Amino acid sequence: MAWILLGLLAAVVAFAPLPALSSPPQARTLRQGSAQAFEIDARQFAYSPSELKVNTGDTVTIQLVSADVVHGLYVDGYDVSVEADPGQSATLTFVADKPGSFRFRCNITCGAMHPFMIGKLTVGSNDWLYRSIGFSILAIIGILLFPRSTPITNYQLPPTDH
Amino acid sequence: MNRPELLARLLIIAGILLAVGAPLYLWSRTPLIHARMAEAGGWTPDVLQAEVGKPLHLKITSDDVVHGFAVGQMDMQSVDILPGKVADITLTFDKPGTYTFYCTRWCGLNHWRMRGTIEVSGSLSDPSTRSGQRPEPGAVPLYVSLRLDLDAPHDAPSIPPNKPSAVNGQQFTDELPITNYQFSDYYRSHSPYQVFTDLSTTPLTESQRWDVVAFLWQSNTTPESLVNGKRLYAQNCAACHGENGGGDGVFADDLTTAGESSMQTMAGAMDMAMQAPTDFTDPRRMLGASPALLQGKILRGGMGTGMPMWGSIFTEEQIWDLVAYLYSFQFEYHP
């Protein structure tokens, strides 16, 4: 009986829509697919801000402002890029229709540490983080509530023959 | 293997070696020019020799960031110099003299210090070519013949309450004898404020007079000039003076900091302000400056401030286009 209850809870954790996504449909369409604008300041060898969070379906507009040398911004997975000279900021617009976390990186060689000039774009909420936290809690509860029912039989070393 | 066959084989091998080796040898004889940020040495070498009429082959690579290559006052497309790649450039000069080559992609606060010279020797091949491209020797820029002091304060004593509009100004021009104001000599040697005072004999109100000034300034330029000026501004000026002319470009703060440390021991706190890039949206400053004064400032540069000397890079026409664009921060022009 208790096993069935635990199984049901696990199913809830795995498939229940998250509170953020279960808002009424009207609010959802307003929230999702809306325009998100960011201004990213790029200088050797970092972006600021370097983490962007948007909802799935948003139209993302990134204005790239270079403050020292020519920098670029390339979003992995979306395969879009933009290049900005200092004094000539450039704009990149795309629709974030793929959920997940994506790296964006400088695609114009900008000095010795150029390969480390990276940032992160998160599209949609991080469902799996919350679901795995839920699973971990369930597992701990399970361990505490259901001690092993089959007794551990005394284990004897096999006789050694000399 | 008989003799003729051996001979034939040797001949083919020699032919292949020659076909591959000769271009490779010639290519390797052209020295490689390295481009680095100005702090790390700029162009190496930075003095090149050439002869009139003979093509000059250049191979350039970058050692750090994206640079660009162009020769001042020459009608050429700038070439991007990318790290790890070699750009091949062929130049032909048809006039002797000293040319300036410079970096065209912003590579830091000292980007504009990345310059070098090409010394072109020989005699003029065809005197009729390139007329108007470089100023004739002996021709002096307008600010010199007008005896303008480029460093003197030139603030306008009064400014319009709001942005003067050329469209409004045009309405009043029909009834006014202003045609003599429309000659480019008059426009270039007078500041908007001077024209505003010259118009005080007319029955117009102050704001109407400013509108007429805006109209006069627009009638002395063309839409093509403004477009060209805007492009030059974005490429060469916006990094310090700001994309919207506000003196707030990405390097403005760095320049002020650099100015503070370099000027502190020399002349005290007042001179530090010189290092901050000019705000072109400030009417007091802009309406008190004549086109000739602005041309002089662009030609000569800031002398000790971060403002480069553009005289060896821009043609005269390009500077006038830039000057016309700078005034568009002050006036509302026809669409």
Residues B52-90 have pLDDT tens digits of 988 998 999 998 889 999 999 888 889 999 998 999 999
Residue B69: half-sphere exposure toward Cβ, Cα within 13 Å: 26
Q: Which residues in chain B have Cβ-Cβ distances shorter than 8 Å to A109? A: 65-66, 82-84
pLDDT single digits (tens) B151-178: 888 888 888 888 888 888 888 877 776 6
pLDDT of residue A127: 76
Q: Which residues in chain A have Cβ-Cβ distances shorter than 8 Å to B36? A: none
**CA dist., res. A88 & res. A86, Å (int):** 5
DSSP class of residue B147?
A: T
User: Min CA distance, A87 vs chain B (Å)?
Assistant: 4
Cis peptide before B83, with omega less than 30 degrees from 0? no
What is the rounded average pLDDT of the residues B10-28?
89
A65 inside 8 A of chain B by CB: yes
User: Is pLDDT larger for residue B112 or for residue A156?
Assistant: B112
Closest residue to A70, CB basis, from B105, B234, B243: B105
- Closest Cα in chain B to A112: B64
**CA dist., res. A122 & res. A53, Å (int):** 5
CB within 8 Å: A86 and B237: no
- Closest Cα in chain A to B67: A70
For each of the domains in chain A, give its residue range(s) and CATH number, in order of start: 1-21+126-143 (no CATH), 33-124 (2.60.40.420)
Q: How many CB pairs under 8 A join A and B?
A: 58
In chain B, % of residues over pLDDT 90: 33
**CA-wise closest residue to B249 among A67, A39, A62, A110:** A67
CB within 8 Å: B66 and A66: no
**CA dist., res. B303 & res. B274, Å (int):** 10
User: Is pLDDT larger for residue B258 or for residue B327?
Assistant: B327
Look at residue B126 and tell me whether its pLDDT is greater than 60.
no
DSSP class of residue B146?
A: T
A6 inside 8 A of chain B by CB: no
Q: Which of A70, A83, A107 to mutate to test the interface with B (most CBs of B within 10 A)?
A: A70
pLDDT of residue A22: 42
pLDDT of residue A4: 84
Q: Which residues in chain B have Cβ-Cβ distances shorter than 8 Å to A111? A: 64-65
Cis peptide before A49, with omega less than 30 degrees from 0? yes
Q: Which residues in chain A have Cβ-Cβ distances shorter than 8 Å to B110? A: none
- The structural domains of chain B, with segments of one domain joined by +, span 32-121, 142-327
CB within 8 Å: A87 and B240: yes
What is the rounded average pLDDT of the residues B270-282?
72
Closest residue to B243, CB basis, from A70, A87, A112: A87
pLDDT of residue A7: 84
What is the rounded average pLDDT of the residues B283-296?
91
pLDDT single digits (tens) B39-48: 888 898 889 9
Look at residue B106 and tell me whether its pLDDT is greater than 70.
yes
Q: DSSP per residue over A77-121, as a string? A: TTTEEEEEBTTB-EEEEEEE-S-EEEEEE--S-BSTTGGG-EEEE
pLDDT of residue B74: 86
In chain B, % of residues over pLDDT 70: 89
A48 inside 8 A of chain B by CB: no
pLDDT single digits (tens) A65-94: 998 899 999 999 999 999 999 989 999 999
Q: Which residues in chain B have Cβ-Cβ distances shorter than 8 Å to A113? A: none
pLDDT of residue B267: 54
User: Is pLDDT larger for residue B204 or for residue B117?
Assistant: B117
CB within 8 Å: A109 and B65: yes
What is the rounded average pLDDT of the residues B204-226?
88
Q: Which residues in chain B have Cβ-Cβ distances shorter than 8 Å to A110? A: 65-66
Look at residue B205 and tell me whether its pLDDT is greater than 50.
yes
pLDDT of residue B116: 93
Instruction: Give mean pLDDT in consecutive 10-residue pieces for chain A, a chain of 162 residues.
Output: 80 74 42 80 91 90 92 93 91 91 92 91 83 88 74 71 68
Note whether B38 and B111 are within 8 A (CB): yes
Contacts 24+ apart (CB under 8 A), B317-322: B317/B132, B318/B228, B318/B232, B319/B295, B320/B225, B320/B291, B320/B295, B321/B221, B321/B225, B321/B226, B321/B228, B321/B229, B321/B232, B322/B229, B322/B232, B322/B233, B322/B237, B322/B298
pLDDT of residue B60: 93
Highest mean pLDDT among A9-13, B25-29, B260-264: A9-13
Look at residue B295 and tell me whether its pLDDT is greater than 50.
yes
Rg, Å, chain A Cα set: 25
pLDDT of residue A159: 75
**CA dist., res. A27 & res. B55, Å (int):** 67
CB within 8 Å: A109 and B234: no
Residue B13: half-sphere exposure toward Cβ, Cα within 13 Å: 6
A110 inside 8 A of chain B by CB: yes
CB within 8 Å: A112 and B64: yes
**CA dist., res. A62 & res. A52, Å (int):** 10
Q: Which residues in chain B have Cβ-Cβ distances shorter than 8 Å to A66? A: 106, 250
Note whether A108 and A72 are within 8 A (CB): yes
Decide: residue A136, CB within 10 A, 0-12 exposed, 13-18 middle, 19+ buried: exposed
**CATH label, B32-121, candidates 3.30.200.20, 3.90.1150.10, 2.60.40.420, 3.40.50.10420:** 2.60.40.420
**CA dist., res. A91 & res. A84, Å (int):** 8
Look at residue B104 and tell me whether its pLDDT is greater than 80.
yes
Q: Which residues in chain B have Cβ-Cβ distances shorter than 8 Å to A112? A: 64
Look at residue B135 and tell me whether its pLDDT is greater than 80.
no
pLDDT of residue B225: 92
**CA-wise closest residue to B166 among B226, B239, B244, B238:** B226
Chain B positions contacting chain A at CB under 8 Å are 37, 64-66, 82-84, 105-109, 111, 234-235, 237-240, 242-243, 249-251
